[in-house]
Amino acid sequence: MPPSDLAPSAPWIDRPDALAEWLTPIGPGTVVGLDTEFMRRNTFYPQLALLQLAHDGRYALIDPLAFPLGDALSRTLGAPPVVTVMHSAGEDLEALSRYLPEGPHTLFDTQIAAAYVGMGLGISYRALVAELVGDELDKGETRSDWLQRPLTESQKRYAALDVVHLHPVHAILTDRLAERGRTEWHAEDCARMKRRASQRDGDPQPQRGFKPAAEWRPERQALLRRVLRWRDATARALDKPRSWLLEDAHALDLVDKPAATLAALEERTRGTRALRSQQRDELFAVLQAPVSPDEIAATAPVIGHPFGDAKRAINEMRTVVDELATQLDLPAGLLCSRRSLEEYVMSAGTWPEALEGWRKGVLHERLAALLPE
């Protein structure tokens, strides 16, 4: 099918009074479509470059570079029971975190909804619109520079079209979720996405992603956690990528073989772009401070690669998940990821947070019976 020739009228809003006026009709029970364009240019946080809104046949392109958005979005989209419709909202919520710190009051993620109604995991917005609405979206501006000003007419049209179809897509998916009895399950996953996006301190257990440290002693794993949390907090404060402070390989190496002196640390981290004298001094202190029993107790063990009985149990659980997914007519990856199974088995039966809620009711009894003795 040809690209959409729909060219919605979407005013360019670059003043706070114009934004307030556009938001005024949004009230209780309202459904609002939302999308963003953002860039990651040598920063920790995504740089919000454009905000697109749709409400009751009205559309707007909001320029966050022209004026401070303040709390206008949180006062409107954060108010109950406004429903905000987004597609694959995770990164958009991160880009909006300054203005929607707790996320929208009620999030409806169309990508998650599509998975629950039999359209597969990770469907693109373009494919979703083509399937449900019959319109082909032009993706020619996907790699545009959204921080440039002025935006081209092509960019503006592309951005507006990204929210034009959110309302009909939402209506169709809402009906299909209800038909399948999946409305509450979908809402639960959207709420979980909101919670993840609103975490201000990052992952509290970042060491879990470093499998090479699985065989380390508990105190060494606790030190790795401390270093990674320092890296995350410092990167946030400086608004610089984590890797500009410390590459993953550097972090592992420095914890495994700590630098004996500040000079040695400087030599081993030479060329790191954001690790200036102050940050290097802080890192040295972080590395040198003794690990306390409380830190060790607070550190979740790093999960390594499964083998032997653990690997067999995970494979058996995977078979059960596949069978249950078929019975429920859900993608197996939506029901339970292999990573969650590994976490469950390798942590000696600690139930993963990702499998709480409705998944626990479906899975727990069947999977618990397969844990290794």
Share of the chain above pLDDT 90, in %: 86
Asked whether the predicted pLDDT for residue 354 surpasses 50, the reply is: yes
Token digits of residue 41: 């240019």
Predicted pLDDT at 3: 43
Asked whether the predicted pLDDT for residue 4 surpasses 70, the reply is: no
Name all domains of the chain by residue range, CATH numbers in brackets: 12-197 (3.30.420.10), 206-298 (1.10.150.80), 308-368 (1.10.150.80)
Predicted pLDDT at 348: 84
**CA–CA distances in Å: residue 21 to residues 15, 27, 253, 255:** 10, 13, 55, 54
- pLDDT tens profile 292-307: 999 999 999 998 889 9
Predicted pLDDT at 7: 58
Report the C-alpha gap between 155 and 5 in whole angstroms.
Answer: 14
Average pLDDT over residues 121-147: 89
Predicted pLDDT at 202: 83
Average pLDDT over residues 228-257: 95
Question: What's this model's pTM, rounded to 2 decimal places?
Answer: 0.90
- pLDDT tens profile 320-332: 999 999 999 999 9
Report the C-alpha gap between 171 and 322 in whole angstroms.
Answer: 30
Report the C-alpha gap between 157 and 277 in whole angstroms.
Answer: 47
Beta bridge partners, 52, equal 35, 61
SS (H, E, C) the chain: CCECCCCCCCCEECCHHHHHHHHCCCCCCCEEEEEEEEECCCCCCCEEEEEEEEECCEEEEECCCCCCCCCHHHHHHCCCCCEEEECCCHHHHHHCCCCCCCCCCEEEEHHHHHHHCCCCCCCCHHHHHHHHCCCECCCCCCCCCCCCCCCCHHHHHHHHHHHHCHHHHHHHHHHHHHHHCCHHHHHHHHHHHHHHHCCCCCCCCHHHHCHHHCCCCHHHHHHHHHHHHHHHHHHHHHCCCHHHHCCHHHHHHHHHCCCCCHHHHHHHCCCCCCCCHHHHHHHHHHHHCCCCHHHHHHCCCCCCCCCHHHHHHHHHHHHHHHHHHHHHCCCHHHHCCHHHHHHHHHCCCCCCHHHCCHHHHHHHHHHHCCCCC
Asked whether the predicted pLDDT for residue 2 surpasses 50, the reply is: no
Q: Are 245 and 279 in contact (CB under 8 A)?
A: yes
Q: Say how far residue 275 (Cα) sits from the centre of its chain.
A: 27
Asked whether the predicted pLDDT for residue 156 surpasses 90, the reply is: yes
Share of the chain above pLDDT 70, in %: 97
Report the C-alpha gap between 38 and 44 in whole angstroms.
Answer: 13
Report the C-alpha gap between 227 and 221 in whole angstroms.
Answer: 10
pLDDT band at 143 (very low <50, low <70, confident <90, very high): confident
| Residues in Cβ contact with 368 at an 8 Å cutoff, skipping those fewer than 6 apart | 349
Predicted pLDDT at 6: 55
Predicted pLDDT at 1: 41
Buried b (16+ CB within 10 A) or exposed e, 330-361: bebebbbeeebbbbbbbeeeebbeebeeebee
Asked whether the predicted pLDDT for residue 227 surpasses 90, the reply is: yes
Beta bridge partners, 39, equal 47
